[in-house]
Amino acid sequence: MELARIEVVGRGISRDVPPGRSLGEAVKELGLRTVEYIPVVNGRVVTWDYVLRPGDEARLLPVVSGGAGCEVCGEEAVYNYLGISLCREHYIEYFEEKVLETIREHRLIRPGEHVAVAVSGGKDSLSLLYLLNKYRDLLGIELTALVIDEGIKGYRDLTIEDFMRINEDLGVKYRVISYEEVFGHGLDEIIMIARERGLPKYPCSYCGVFRRYLLNVGARIIGADVLATGHNLDDMVQTYLLNIVTNSLDRILHLLPRTSGADHPLLVPRVKPFYRSLEMETTLYSVLMGLYPSFIECVYAPEALRNDVRNYINELEERRPGIKYKIMNSLEELIEKLGPGTVRIGSCRICGEPTSGEVCRTCRYLDSLGLLENLLRWRSRLGIVEG
């Protein structure tokens, strides 16, 4: 039987273990304490109840710094990176202050703005919602959670449950928009229709296009000035390298912490308040704040190339701590030198939404699936303005 591998990053420990049981159990059997690590399987952060499959590569990222104490108060440190050691309390303070400073310094969110937070139910979007809600008065903002329900059984239904549970305490206004109500079918069914019609598209390409479309339209329905997403520094750096590999320079130039809304009247500006926070940092924050979701991995396999790029960058970072920041600095300098992208944005001939082509990708995909009428009916029922 093919085994699964568990590696402890930075400790030189690597073991092959039988699959079929939870990562948490397997880790405890190796004599390790789960509270001291963040579990990552095949490049994705998972929870300890993740059941190991044959061939899985599990990597444990240490969060507890062994002997060193918090440099502020001397208590046991939970964070130790680039020479900074912090306990739970001081890490939370440090993380929140860093994000608030990023927002202020780059004027990501401005006083008086109504912010729609794109909530996927994952740790980053839940942490972002929590943090913006905690400081909404200080920032002077109005907040609404925008949840897109793609209709992925065994994944999105569970993450929406997580969101509802956490939001019970937060009490943030929210709006759920489902593929079902807009397109007449959830993603699971859309994939079946695509197969029946012999369409060669992967689930993620439909999902990414539809999701982006509904986030923008949804933000307008809510009446939001900006759409905030939980993208962290790792996401930015991965997309940067991915677009170098695939030679998509224009996309790189759009990787801004706050995109301009000036390109099209129907385009809601997007902000990424976590763009200077490492994935490890947002994960640690979500774990410490009890915002870590019970389930995380989408049932559809992620893009293979992005996975490779993610693993490659993580390996580099392990050997040269701080290199993610350096790649990020390179991205910021590149955009500063070349200026933001110059793609001309027009209006889709069919639905009126912003697009660089004549017909937007959502309308093109829906047309090939025979579902375009559903979208147009939904738009007219809700009175969504055309461009």
Q: At its nearest, how many Å lie between Zn ion and the CB of residue 377?
A: 14
With CB under 5 A as the contact rule, the residue among 87, 160, 222, 236 that binds Zn ion is 87
Q: How large is the angle between the packed helices 304-319 and 233-245, nearest 10 degrees?
A: 120
Q: At its nearest, how many Å lie between Zn ion and the CB of residue 361?
A: 8
Which residues, including other chains, have CB under 8 Å from residue 217's CB and lie 6 or more apart?
A: 177, 353, 384
User: CA 83, CA 90: separation in Å to the nearest integer?
Assistant: 15
Q: At its nearest, how many Å lie between Zn ion and the CB of residue 387?
A: 9
Q: At its nearest, how many Å lie between Zn ion and the CB of residue 85?
A: 9
Question: What number of chain residues touch Zn ion (CB under 5 A)?
Answer: 11
Which residues, including other chains, have CB under 8 Å from residue 203's CB and lie 6 or more apart?
A: 187, 191, 300
Shorter beta-carbon distance to Zn ion: residue 217 or 350: 350
Let me know: does 46 contact 23? Beta carbons within 8 Å: yes
Q: Which stretch binds Zn ion (CB under 5 A): 88-96, 99-107, 180-188, 333-341?
A: 88-96
Q: At its nearest, how many Å lie between Zn ion and the CB of residue 350?
A: 5
209 binds Zn ion (CB under 5 A): no
Shorter beta-carbon distance to Zn ion: residue 203 or 354: 354
HEC assignment per residue over 94-152 = HHHHHHHHHHHHCCCCCCCCEEEEEECCCHHHHHHHHHHHHCHHHHCCEEEEEEEECCC
Q: At its nearest, how many Å lie between Zn ion and the CB of residue 273?
A: 24
User: CA 6, CA 42: separation in Å to the nearest integer?
Assistant: 11
Shorter beta-carbon distance to Zn ion: residue 255 or 363: 363
Which residues, including other chains, have CB under 8 Å from residue 111's CB and lie 6 or more apart?
A: 139, 140, 141
Strand duo 57-62 + 37-41: pairing: antiparallel
The token pair at 141 is: 């903002």
CA atoms within 13 A on the CB side of 307: 11
What kind and span of H or E run contains 216? helix 203-222
Considering only residues 39-78, where is the footprint of Zn ion by CB under 5 A? Answer: 70, 72-73, 75
Q: At its nearest, how many Å lie between Zn ion and the CB of residue 148?
A: 17
Shorter beta-carbon distance to Zn ion: residue 25 or 89: 89
Residues 319-348, mask of contacts with Zn ion (x by CB under 5 A): -----------------------------x
Shorter beta-carbon distance to Zn ion: residue 24 or 69: 69
Considering only residues 90-109, where is the footprint of Zn ion by CB under 5 A? Answer: 90
Q: Which residue do the tokens 């109840």 mark?
A: 49
Considering only residues 346-375, where is the footprint of Zn ion by CB under 5 A? Answer: 348, 350-351, 360, 363
Residues at the contact surface with Zn ion, assessed by CB under 5 A: 70, 72-73, 75, 87, 90, 348, 350-351, 360, 363
